[in-house]
Structure 1
């Protein structure tokens, strides 16, 4: 896939949410409420359509620590699907920016993943990434980062997959007090899990 040279790179945010609008139950969330969707073949195919057009991934500390503890095993497991292994290899090697005030570069370098660096200033980092050459930028399921970028008007495309479960509380994906207008690009039903994937773009 060629780099996006004619226009500025898009910032794409992707998250799984419950029917009542939560992306997790909190710091100790085990994601069991969403795993049927995350592991489905239809979900893998849909997500592949996003990440193959991306050359930079942005994550927060919690997701970085969770991803790097789980994904290397999934990637090397011969029982994992081909798409899961492809995604794992992409995650391991793509440029990754970890937004954190506590992690040090040495913490990132201890993991099996490469091509990762720490950034302290989210807005400045994303503005610089948008102005740099490359394919699109993907924020992966990090609610705090997505909220901050929505408030800064730095998200161009918002993917929300609504899973048929209610959590009753936890971390909401969308910030309070923010008024904005979006255009529905497409919606995809996932019959195997009952989830609905929504893609919104700025008008």
Structure 2
């Protein structure tokens, strides 16, 4: 599934007990701060976007990311890694999965109302670098279910939320993964990445 060498890399933040948001719903993300401002978290994010040319996002995440990140590129007092990510998010290709958008309100953006696995199959026939899914849980879950993920990337934050939404649903296809990266940082934050181990056909 790696035509042209393009990888599908998915990334999200999770708590020690495996939740990507708390029991209060999708907006219950307070556990992410202040860990997202640590050096290991910023370096983790930089390692994701530098080899990538495409961001694959669900509509809700796209709206949030595109309103927040591109202006950071021009903030003189922002961390240089944050400015770099803001510029990348502004300039890179965005692919947004949506059943409600009819056209993209952002530059360099294509919109598809199709299953995530069909979209990445098409993207993998095109030239480019990594295809990165940033925190769009619905997209990540669909790609995991379809076995289209080449790298699983996480920031694990040292809190137990006791409830919320989990990334890994029951019934996913069995698969094997190899550790590709690990780093630890301030407050006990852990950066992890696993590569899908596939057998030759």
Q: Same fold (TM over 0.5)?
A: yes
What is the distance in 2 between the residues matched to 1:48 and 1:28? 24
Q: How many residues are matched?
A: 192
Native 8 Å contact 2:152 2:194 kept in 1: yes
Could you say which residue in structure 2 is the equivalent of 1:58? Answer: 56
Residue 97 (structure 1) shift: 0.5
Q: Any conservation in 2 of the 1:56–1:95 contact (CA below 8 Å)?
A: yes
Cα RMSD of the aligned pairs, angstroms, is 1.8
Structure 2 CA distance for aligned equivalents of residues 10 and 32 of structure 1: 31
The answer as to whether partners of 1:21 and 1:173 remain within 8 angstroms in 2 is: yes
In the TM superposition, what is the alpha-carbon distance from 1:46 to its structure 2 partner?
2.5
Mapped to 2, the partners of 1:156 and 1:97 lie a distance apart of 18
Could you list the runs of 5+ residues in structure 2 that have no partner in the other structure? none
The answer to whether 1:142 aligns with 2:120 is no
Per-residue CA deviations over 1:72-102 (Å, capped at 9, x if unaligned) read: 4433332211111111010011000011112
SS in 2 for 1:76: coil
- Structure 1 stretches of at least 4 aligned residues deviating more than 6 Å after TM superposition: none
2:76 alignment counterpart: 78
Gaps of 5+ in 1: none
The C-alpha deviation readout for 1:19-65, integer Å capped at 9, x for no partner, is: 11111232323x22112221222321222122110011101112112
Out of 8, 27, 33, the residue aligned to residue 11 of structure 1 is: 8
Q: Please, which of 101, 117, 120 is the counterpart of residue 103 of structure 1?
A: 101
Q: Does 1:165 align with 2:159?
A: yes
Question: What TM-score do you get using the length of structure 2 for normalisation?
Answer: 0.88
Q: What is the TM-score of this pair, normalised by structure 1?
A: 0.87
Deviates more, 1:160-169 or 1:12-21: 160-169
Distance 1:82 1:157, change over 3 A: same
2:112 corresponding residue in structure 1: 119
SS in 2 for 1:114: coil
> How big is the shift at 1:6?
8.5
